[in-house]
């Protein structure tokens, strides 16, 4: 991939060139030097190096240990990497950053292996909570239970009788409420399903407590919003977690404006240790459009200029939108999101966003949902002409055979989360069949069609740890251990391809490939030192690799104890 030169890149290249070609010339000393490393640069001009010099927040030289020692001065911080692997900082192309930070302090249910364990953890949390306080979080996953049945309000009514409870399914497309919470939201047997949502009911027509997609909003509007201090605490928790995992940039999907305000506050205080590109919901498109903000507006640490849309739901909650019905629900093929009722409303909003030069990122999972968004993108191009938009489809999970070429023709970026593949691979074929599953998380097919990939996690839906993402992309070994050689192994990525998509690819997906994504002279000094060489070890070992140090702009934000 050709790396575009920006102003800082050109300036630093000139400085570095003078230093390396004429060492006798006066030159500034580096603030940081990392020596004796195995540097994977992601720069096609020089894939491997031994050392890196940093001046200010940018890389000023990359080369051999001998070359880089010339940048040492009396106050230079010198790090001996002892032969460890140094890679560019990871850029997670799809997160829910504040939700992730908050979830670190909520009740944890994702690994609850039975309804009984689920209830035990809820009881324990309720015992340490104030009466009447909402219990939130959870990230439960009923597919880990035997039998895999959706939980109901009765499971939590008995163990949390004095407080409203709203526990999210891990995919974020279903919530389980107890009876108190349903009463507060006014949800009864007479409540109609909203467009794009579903109230799960028992045989008598009574709500079971499970609410899908747009129906969740009926409950969420009753939950008191986070205070500023609660939001700030969640962001600080998320920042610390990201630093410890080598995540130096994130692209935050559908943040509240209050989230962005906290980011700005922490930036002013010098406490923002992760670079953030925020994409509010497309329903708020007028807010950015009327200000004249274009894509990637802002500075190195905080930018806006994008909008996030929803085409459908999720496979796990049976709300992804397909051309054909689910195998286990033969009269049902999923739901279009409420934003798609009618589809012309979504088209109008996207036309407005494109006219304002805002980047469009659309959640689309089912093949019919993805195809509908590609149709709208094609309509926009016909109406407004071709230019560098960097449209994205978030997740791009189940693609119709006819649409791989359309991804490439429309230059749509596939923003994908490999961990979902090894998670959903435990049960997906029972729901959609072998044929559709063969085009699920089809990373290799996308690359073969010339589609750009950007890797992420969807945290807090999946773990933020890049090592788990790289493990998933390169092995496709499902979490249940039943596919050790890979679920549809022909869709595996090499570690080099996965790393590129997680660094340069994600940077490209936010119009920042000239600023970050590779260890290149002039770029921001976002780097991660790893305990093991992920480019050499067996891919099955990648998940156990640890981050030793994380630098953001040359500033050390994490070191392993």
Max CA-CA distance within the chain? 86
Peptide bond into 342 cis (omega under 30): yes
Cα separation, 433 vs 438, in Å, equals 9
Average pLDDT over residues 498-510: 98
243-299: pLDDT as tens digits: 999 999 999 999 999 999 999 999 999 999 999 999 999 999 999 999 999 999 999
| Residue 535: pLDDT over 60 | yes
Which tokens go with 79? 């790090």
SS3 431: helix
Average pLDDT over residues 335-357: 97
C-beta of residue 248 within 8 angstroms of C-beta of residue 523: no
| Residue 49: pLDDT over 50 | yes
Cα separation, 67 vs 69, in Å, equals 6
CA dihedral of 13, 18, 21, 23, whole degrees rounded to 10: -130
Cα separation, 347 vs 326, in Å, equals 27
| Residue 18: pLDDT over 60 | no
pLDDT above 70: percentage of residues in the chain: 95
C-beta of residue 360 within 8 angstroms of C-beta of residue 254: no
So what's the pLDDT on residue 1?
36
What strands, in cross-sheet order, belong to the sheet with 197-201? Answer: 107-108, 135-140, 165-169, 174-177, 207-213, 197-201
378-436: pLDDT as tens digits: 999 999 999 999 999 999 999 999 999 999 999 999 999 999 999 999 999 999 999 99
Domain boundaries, the chain: 97-220, 280-514
Cα separation, 58 vs 248, in Å, equals 14
Scanning 110-254, the segments in alpha helix (DSSP H) are 115-127, 154-157, 179-185, 216-220, 228-244
Q: Average pLDDT, whole number, for the chain?
A: 94
423-470: pLDDT as tens digits: 999 999 999 999 999 999 999 999 999 999 999 999 999 999 999 999
| Residue 23: pLDDT over 70 | no
C-beta of residue 483 within 8 angstroms of C-beta of residue 428: no
So what's the pLDDT on residue 26?
65
| Residue 338: pLDDT over 50 | yes
So what's the pLDDT on residue 11?
47
So what's the pLDDT on residue 19?
47
| Residue 365: pLDDT over 90 | yes
Peptide bond into 460 cis (omega under 30): yes
Q: What is the CATH number of domain 280-514?
A: 3.20.20.140
Alpha carbon 513 to chain centroid distance? 18
Which tokens go with 234? 């969640």
So what's the pLDDT on residue 130?
86
Residue-wise DSSP of 270-315: T---SEEEEE-BGGGHHHHHTTT--TTEE-SSEEE-EEEEE-B--T
So what's the pLDDT on residue 12?
53
Work out the number of other CB atoms within 10 angstroms of the CB of residue 147.
6
Fold annotation for 97-220: Diaminopimelate Epimerase; Chain A, domain 1 (3.10.310)
So what's the pLDDT on residue 353?
98
CA dihedral of 423, 414, 458, 265, whole degrees rounded to 10: 170
Cα separation, 543 vs 323, in Å, equals 36
| Residue 4: pLDDT over 70 | no
Average pLDDT over residues 476-485: 97
């Amino acid at each position: 991939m050709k790396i575009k030169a920006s102003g800082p890149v050109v300036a630093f290249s000139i400085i570095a060139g003078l230093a390396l070609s004429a060492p006798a010339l006066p030159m500034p000393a580096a603030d940081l030097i990392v020596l004796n490393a195995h540097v994977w640069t992601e720069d096609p001009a020089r894939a491997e190096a031994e050392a890196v010099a940093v001046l200010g927040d940018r890389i000023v030289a990359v080369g051999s240990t001998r070359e880089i020692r010339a940048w040492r001065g009396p106050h230079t911080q010198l790090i001996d990497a002892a032969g460890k692997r140094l890679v560019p900082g990871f850029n997670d192309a799809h997160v829910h950053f504040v939700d992730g930070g908050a979830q670190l302090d909520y009740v944890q249910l994702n690994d609850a292996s039975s309804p009984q364990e689920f209830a035990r953890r809820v009881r324990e949390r309720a015992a340490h909570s104030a009466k009447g306080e909402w219990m939130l979080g959870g990230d439960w996953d009923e597919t880990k239970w035997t039998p895999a049945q959706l939980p109901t309000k009765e499971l939590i009514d008995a163990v949390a009788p004095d407080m409203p409870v709203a526990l999210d399914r891990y995919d974020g497309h279903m919530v389980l409420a107890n009876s108190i919470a349903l009463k507060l939201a006014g949800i009864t047997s007479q409540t109609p399903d909203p467009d794009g949502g579903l109230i799960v009911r028992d045989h008598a027509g009574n709500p079971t407590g499970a609410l899908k997609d747009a129906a969740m909003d009926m409950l969420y509007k009753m939950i008191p919003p986070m205070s500023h201090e609660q939001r700030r605490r969640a962001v600080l928790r998320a920042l610390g977690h990201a630093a410890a995992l080598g995540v130096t940039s994130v692209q935050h999907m559908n943040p509240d404006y209050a989230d962005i305000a906290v980011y700005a506050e922490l930036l002013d205080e010098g406490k923002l240790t992760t670079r953030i590109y925020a994409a509010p919901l497309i329903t708020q498109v007028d807010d950015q459009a009327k200000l004249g903000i274009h894509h990637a507006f802002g500075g190195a640490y905080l930018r806006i200029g994008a909008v996030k849309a929803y085409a459908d739901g999720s496979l796990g909650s049976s709300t992804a939108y397909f051309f054909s019905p689910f195998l286990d629900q033969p009269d049902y093929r999923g739901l279009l999101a409420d934003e798609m009722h009618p589809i012309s409303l979504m088209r109008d909003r996207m036309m407005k966003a494109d006219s304002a030069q805002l980047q469009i990122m659309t959640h689309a999972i089912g093949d019919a949902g993805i195809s509908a968004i590609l149709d709208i993108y094609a309509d926009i191009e016909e109406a407004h002409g071709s230019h560098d938009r960097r449209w994205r489809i978030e997740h791009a999970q189940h693609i119709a055979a006819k649409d791989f070429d359309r991804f490439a023709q429309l230059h749509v970026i596939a923003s994908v989360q490999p961990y979902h593949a090894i998670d959903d691979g435990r049960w997906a074929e029972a729901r959609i069949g072998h044929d559709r599953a063969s085009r699920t998380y089809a990373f290799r097919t996308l690359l073969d069609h010339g589609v750009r990939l950007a890797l992420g996690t969807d945290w807090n839906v999946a773990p933020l740890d890049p090592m788990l993402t790289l493990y998933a992309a390169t092995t496709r070994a499902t979490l249940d251990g039943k596919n050790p050689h890979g679920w549809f192994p022909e869709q595996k990525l090499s570690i080099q391809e996965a790393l590129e998509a997680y660094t340069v690819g994600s940077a490209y997906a936010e119009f920042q490939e000239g600023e970050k994504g590779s260890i290149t002279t002039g770029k921001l000094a976002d780097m991660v030192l790893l305990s093991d060489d992920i480019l050499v070890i067996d891919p099955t070992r990648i998940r156990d690799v640890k981050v030793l140090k994380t630098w953001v702009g040359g500033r050390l934000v994490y070191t392993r104890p």
